[in-house]
Amino acid sequence: MSGPGGAPALEADGVTVRYGDVLALDGVTLRLGRGTVCGLIGMNGSGKSTLFKALLGMVDLTAGTVRVDGGTPARARRRGAVGYVPQTEAVDWAFPVSVRDVVMMGRYGHLGITRRPRPADHEAVEAALERVELTDLADRQIGQLSGGQRKRAFVARGIAQDARTMLLDEPFAGVDKRSEATIVRLLRELAADGRTVLVSSHDLHALPQLADEAVLLLRRVLFHGSVAEALEPDNLARTFGLDVSDARGGGAA
């Protein structure tokens, strides 16, 4: 799945993360190629957010390694290679910043010590806003957007950043159907540009239109392959903690 002659965009090898006594990730091995959209499916507490943190180099790994574009997460961060779209609950929507301010934050890694934007940065921000169709709303305070528009603003931040890999944490939570379709189309376009998009979700119905492949996660990778196979009942039952063999055994007893 890797691009022509290049290292995979994202590589996790035996990644294990422990918080005290809690095992959050257990030997996760994963490779994602460029230009793909991958759905990361798991229930709450399955380790999706921890895996994102591991890919961003924000947690200490108990074991294993993470590579981004063939390098360390630290190198990827310095290059601004990874964009991140936080989940709705992680953002203070009353914060006094405009949509344009948020998108400009994508450029900070490219800027000098005071982060004063140059003309090229303003152009990149305007282009990103246009791409996600938020130009008209750019001066709004961020909380005055609808759920779907908010997500698009953060995707625009990743575009302005020129991130080659985008991590989206539950982008469809609290988003209506029409906005969801807009976001799916946008993410498909980003993949067509050669970006790698990893979308965490516990919501399955957008998956067939959105993703090229799916990963089922329950602290470890239960399945990695086509979306159609991922959606088979046996796989989903295991992912969402309904152990099929146990259920059958219990029924027989």
| Residue 15 phi, psi (nearest 5) | -75, 120
Among 65, 146, 226, 245, binds another protein (CB under 8 A): 146
Answer yes or no whether residue 82 interacts with another protein by CB under 8 A. Answer: yes
| Size, binding site for another protein by CB under 8 A | 37
Q: Where are the beta strands (DSSP E) in 96-209?
A: 165-169, 196-201
Using CB under 8 A, pick the residue from 43, 90, 228, 247 that binds another protein.
90
Choosing from 71, 78, 193, 241, the residue that interacts with another protein (CB under 8 A) is 78
Q: State how far the Cα of 12 lies from the Cα of 204, in Å rounded to an integer.
A: 24
Count of residues making up the chain: 253
Q: What residues between 14 and 73 interact with another protein by CB under 8 A?
A: 20, 56-58
Closest separation in Å from C-beta 78 to another protein: 4
What is the C-alpha to C-alpha distance for residues 235 and 50, in angstroms, rounded to an integer?
A: 21
Report d(CA 38, CA 53) in Å as an integer: 17
152-181 residues in contact with another protein (CB under 8 A) are: 157, 161
Of the candidates 7, 91, 173, 181, which one interacts with another protein according to CB under 8 A? 91
Sign of CA dihedral 136, 142, 148, 151: positive
- Sign, CA dihedral 194-198-201-207, equals positive
59, 106, 179, 221: residue in contact with another protein (rule CB under 8 A): 106
Contacts with another protein, residue ranges (CB under 8 A): 20, 56-58, 74, 77-80, 82-84, 86, 90-92, 95-98, 101-102, 105-106, 108-109, 113-116, 141, 144-146, 149, 157, 161
